Amino acid sequence: MLRYTASLLVAGVFAATPLFAADPPAKDKEGSAPLMTSTQAVNHYISDGWEKAGIKKPALKATDLEFHRRVFLDLIGRIPTAPEVLAFEADRAPDKRAKLIRRLLFGLKNEKGEEVIFRPVVAGKLMPVDSNAKPYTEEYSEHWATMWTVWLMSRTTHTTYREQMQSWLADKFDKNIPHNELVKLLIGAQGETNKNGAVNFVLHHLGEKPTLGTDPGYMDGVPITSRITRLFTGLQTQCTQCHDHPFNKEWIQGDFWGTNAFFRQTRRSATPTPRPGAGNNNNQMGFVQVSLSDDDNVNKETRVFFERRDGKLMSTKPTFLKDYAQADKGEFSSKKLPSGDKASKTRRQILAEYVVEHDMFAKAYVNRMWGHLFGRGLNKEPTIDDFGSHNEIVHPELMEKLAADFVKYGYDSKALLEALCNSDAYSLSHVANKDYADEKYNPYFARMPLKALSPEVLHASLTQATKTDEEAVDKKARGANREAWLEKLVRNFGDDEGNELTFNGTVVQALLMMNGAELNNAIKKKGTNVVDSIMAKHKKLQGKTFSSAVIDELFLTTVGRHATAKELTALIDVQDGIIVPKRDEPPKTGSTPSTGTGTKPPVAAPVKPPVGTKPMGKVPGEAIVGVAVTDATFYQDVFWALMNTTEFMLNH
């Protein structure tokens, strides 16, 4: 069976992701999850929003297995294993969704209080776990550390610096330290990159040597100024570097430079080593560790100069952004350099306190977490970090309530995620009620938007499905494998802005994998591969029963569900040599995935055979020669095709 057959399978055999609900399935009798204060708020205000928008009937509740895959991808950054899927399916507890959320966030402990790896039970039998399996809390910490490393540093900085940052973040997420404390540590960090990974955030965005003024400081700090306001307050101030904000009149040029002045005593010992070129990812030649410190002997006048567009030279002293409530009233900021005890702190430490005390700080984090789970923020526009009068909050009461609860309960990230994941809106199907499928209804969350997987989550899911990480001898080797994959993917299709974690490009990712050697090698690796293991597991079965069992487990392994009767019939027909789909039929991609940016992925091109392969049959639709039910190549092609479907590369 040639790989071209699998490209035909992608084109026409697998069920497409529908945009509209067809015949509704039987209603789920499962009980609702335990309600918490924030969860009740989501249920109340989203339902209220439906009523105001004229949405009489939202999407149906997601199936158990759709929900199961969704929460794995969102909380720990990978697809579930087949045993995990089957164990969840077999669980008859009415609160099993709530228990799953808690298990992924907080892990499992034995009678001694020690954290243990989850062992799925299927049909009363304790399932074996992968040799490199980890506790869920470790996977949670690594997943969120990966995301925040991208948000803080982008993907194009040197691998070693990113590993330092990721290791530091993973430790903090493992301890679930309050978000406000995390941010203060990041903004005020001092020390060397190899001893305090947090310093990598500021030192990679310090900009260039300033030129205006007689004592302007070491670095101009322009990039870090706009990155901090965007990441931690949801306010995009980059354009106010040069002029007053064109849409949000509450922000003027002086606001940007007032914030910038807090960085003028910041000093780094050297320029960070740039990321080596393609194919030289781990080359440490010339790599330098960098230290970050603060020197109060420079910029003693505390004044920063900037030019207006009319050429007039202006100046300001360190003054952080006024609260949003103050901006609405036309008031000025009082967040200046203090006197007394606080004066003994560095400017960045003072800035860090102002940032976490800002009235948009909690709202910015709530919106970021909401956007991660729902594909877009609570604003009119889908971006998660662009608050302002130009972008109204569609659910203001919900935003206020969630932010207030986040502060009340100690800036607890896991508590916020648990509340949101237990909400009715998070449990909805991705299949819209056809009356409300228009994009104008997207801000009301009457269905779960489709979300494209980030490169990191896509890689983690591929390695989970193919078990390629089991070959890596240690964590460092696994990291090297991951970096090699991401280097190729990001080099071809990424950007360096660090704001593209919800990756827009499922189609190009698919084309990359369809023509790449990595996936083929993983599927066909010598020794025991996934297909061989599954076939050996079902070797006592015969004929089509064997074929069906192997195919079904391949579906569980990749897309987290059983193969439908229609899919099984079609694949077995291909195996038997019966008519196959037309070779020029393009893959069906279903509805457009949300990217969190308002953009759409490119339109899918027809699937064509890889260069050098010989299509089966002389004309489209002609019968092909069947293969034996024990032919591993056929199942390898099915496995390959499943990982190239949009269903695999979307979180729905």
| H or E, element range at 126 | strand 125-126
pLDDT at position 620 is 42
Extended strands (E) in 246-312: 266-268, 291-294, 304-307
Q: Position 524: which residue type?
A: K
Start-to-end Cα distance in the chain: 31
The pLDDT > 70 percentage for the chain reads 76
Please list the alpha-helical segments (H only) found in 188-286.
199-203, 222-233, 253-260
Tell me the pLDDT tens digit for each residue of 204-257: 999 999 888 888 899 999 999 999 999 999 988 766 655 555 666 676 777 888
The Cα 419–Cα 431 span in angstroms is 23
Q: Which residues of the chain have pLDDT under 70?
A: 1-36, 238-249, 251, 277-285, 340-343, 470-479, 485, 488-516, 527, 579-625
What's the count of helices (H) and strands (E) in the chain, helices before strands?
25, 11
Cβ pair 561, 66 in contact under 8 A: yes
Contact status, residue 71 vs residue 421, Cβ threshold 8 Å: yes
**DSSP-assigned beta bridge partners for residue 651:** 451
pLDDT at 227: 94
Taking the CA of residue 196 as centre, how many other CA atoms within 13 Å lie in the half-sphere pointing to its CB? 17
Kind of pairing between the strands at 451-452 and 313-316: unpaired
Q: What angle do CA 114, 117, 119 make, to 5 degrees?
A: 125
pTM of the predicted structure, to 2 decimals: 0.87
Q: What is the dihedral of CA 255, 261, 262, 265, to 10 degrees?
A: 170
For 607-630, write each residue's pLDDT tens digit.
343 333 333 333 444 445 678 899
- Any idea what DSSP says for residue 390? T
HSE (side-chain half, CA atoms, 13 Å) at 65: 18
Distance in angstroms (rounded) separating the CA atoms of residues 182 and 174: 12
Nearest 5°: the CA angle 596, 601, 607 is 150
121 sits in which H/E element? strand 121-122
